[in-house]
Amino acid sequence: MKKIKKWYQENLFSVICILIVCIILIAPLLSPSYVWGHDSAFHISNIKSLVTSISKGNWFFPKIYPIIANNFGYGTGLFYGQLPHMIVALLKICIGMFFDISIIDSMKIVHFVTLFCSAFFMYLFTKKVTNKKLISLVGAIIYITFPYRLSEIYVRDAFAENITFVFLPLIFYGLYELLYGKSSSKFYIPFIIGTSALVLTHTITTFYTALIVFIYLLFNFKKVFKKDIIKKICIALSFIFFLTSFYTIPLIEQKLHANINIFTNHELFNSNNVSIRSLFLSNLFPFAGNQSMDGIVYYLLIPTIMMLLFSIYNYKNIKLDNKEMFLQFFIIGSICLLMTTNIFPWKYMPKMLLYIQFPWRLLVFVTFFYSLSSILILITLKDNLIKPVSYFLIMIFLILSVDSINLTRLITYTEDQVNASTSGIGAINDYLPSKVLKNYEYYNHRGKDLVITSGSGDASLNSLSVPFTNFDIYVEKGPMTVEFPMLYYYGYTSYCTNKKKEPLEVKESKNGFVEVVFDKSCNATLNFTGSTLTKVSYYLTLLTLITFIYFVVKITLREKNVMKK
């Protein structure tokens, strides 16, 4: 309790400053208006669908979403990190029990909490590295006033990608403790929680984070290649894999067993297309007419550029035990910056790297790495200069951030005005079965009836609540095949429920819908239950979560006992 009180007294001013800056930055969203961003309709639609699904009792990360795709059951939950949407949906449902709150209002709350948490965790990480409160505060403010960071909110409304800013400081806080510290708990807790949350938030960012972490560990190979360090990394990765297995295992199964547009349409991730979407060097510098493309602000602020240059210029003269980390962060950030431009040879990159689609997404990492490496120059200041210079920089970054807040995209609208059926699919039909796109007219005009595709007989619906349905089948000439008004994803199961439960063959129709084969008349059900492996993954996640809590308590108590001795 004394430690908490001491920490509170030492850091209260910094936390209040972060809170005030976050309120100023998010102030435009306090109005009745909301951003009509590039991705707003997609996120609102999927959250709306998720709220509907949870309200029907499918509360644990449902995989198939109703409403979207003509209410044929869209597989967003199988491919897209659900954590951001789930947070908003639960917020809407829980607060909605007491107050009238919309999905858009819930999104505004999460935007604010995300902004504050990303700054707060960046402050903790920077303070861990520098042991300087004011300098750490500057680093946190740079992190949340970075132009691209604000474009994520006010132009793109890239809701999931925006939340990834929260987890990067946690991940590298853990890695810093692993390489420079002595506490196992301070490595395991932030690293495992941060990485697991990132996996459940944004797959592309997770993939690139893994590559960057690997590069960072290579920079520090002398520290890494020790038995104790390798053991800790293996334990952490095991926890992360099993904690997120309820999401990653179904995703891998779809890749292996289903033909989904995002996996089969190679034009989506064509190297030429990715290369075309890269930036010109002029986009990275704040000169008139060169600062933005499609409303997104890509450039680096002049104070950030100057601080980086001064930090590198004075690097040799800086006396700091861990100063090589700042240089490593600068190098990694610069590589990411280079990769956003048309100078980088995207045409020759392996397909896995091309899943990023838009190279400027790497500005997420530029924001993180440059926010830390730029403050190195402040460490060289005399003690009597740190306070005035820090306050001055905070004011400068706050003032300059105004240019990145695009008020023209703020309009007043409700979620009911968003066409969830079409908007929830995504701009490139990411998660539609490939056969649906080949028979798009059929998909557009298909009703909710059962269609007999082979054999003869009769099929009638008793109830339909996507992804569950109950129906009666009369087989006149079998085997009879029936197509259902549900998009096909691997994991649908059907059972004949006459006298005893008998499994039926489920497959994909030529149109990309669920098809079931019947040999006899029966009453039957169809539902998305996931495969046996998917069901096992849920129990694995639950068991691992319990084990992780026990593990954390155990090592924390052990460290406390060692400190007492």
**pLDDT band at 182, cuts 50/70/90?**
confident
- DSSP per position, 527-564: EE---HHHHHHHHHHHHHHHHHHHHHHHHHHHHHHHHH
Q: Which candidate, 301, 306, 326, places its Cα nearest to that of 315? A: 326
Mean pLDDT over each residue of the chain, to the nearest integer: 92
**pLDDT band at 350, cuts 50/70/90?**
confident
- The type of residue at 184 is S
**pLDDT score of 480 more than 70:** yes
**pLDDT band at 59, cuts 50/70/90?**
confident
Whose structure tokens read 């300098």? 135
**pLDDT score of 418 more than 90:** yes
- Candidate from 84-93, 236-245, 420-429 with smallest mean pLDDT: 420-429
CA 169/CA 176 separation, integer angstroms: 10
Q: Which candidate, 96, 74, 84, 94, places its Cα nearest to that of 39? A: 84
CA 56 vs CA 313, 352, 497: distances in Å: 61, 37, 22
**pLDDT score of 2 more than 80:** no
Stretch 358-380: mean pLDDT, rounded?
Answer: 94
Q: Which structure tokens are listed for 411?
A: 């309009």
The C-alpha angle with vertex 419 and arms to 413 and 425, in degrees rounded to 5, equals: 125
Burial class (CB in 10 A: 0-12, 13-18, 19+), 263: middle
Stretch 155-167: mean pLDDT, rounded?
Answer: 96
Alpha helical stretches, state H, 227-362: 227-243, 245-257, 261-264, 271-276, 302-313, 323-339, 351-354
Give residue 357's pLDDT: 85
CA 63/CA 211 separation, integer angstroms: 28
**pLDDT score of 439 more than 90:** yes
Sign of CA dihedral 364, 369, 370, 372: positive
- The type of residue at 477 is K
Stretch 476-487: mean pLDDT, rounded?
Answer: 93
**pLDDT score of 478 more than 90:** no
CA 73/CA 320 separation, integer angstroms: 56
- DSSP per position, 293-306: ETTEE-PPPHHHHH
Output the pTM of the full model. 0.94
Give residue 440's pLDDT: 94
Q: Which structure tokens are listed for 17?
A: 């400053």
Give residue 186's pLDDT: 93
Give residue 293's pLDDT: 58
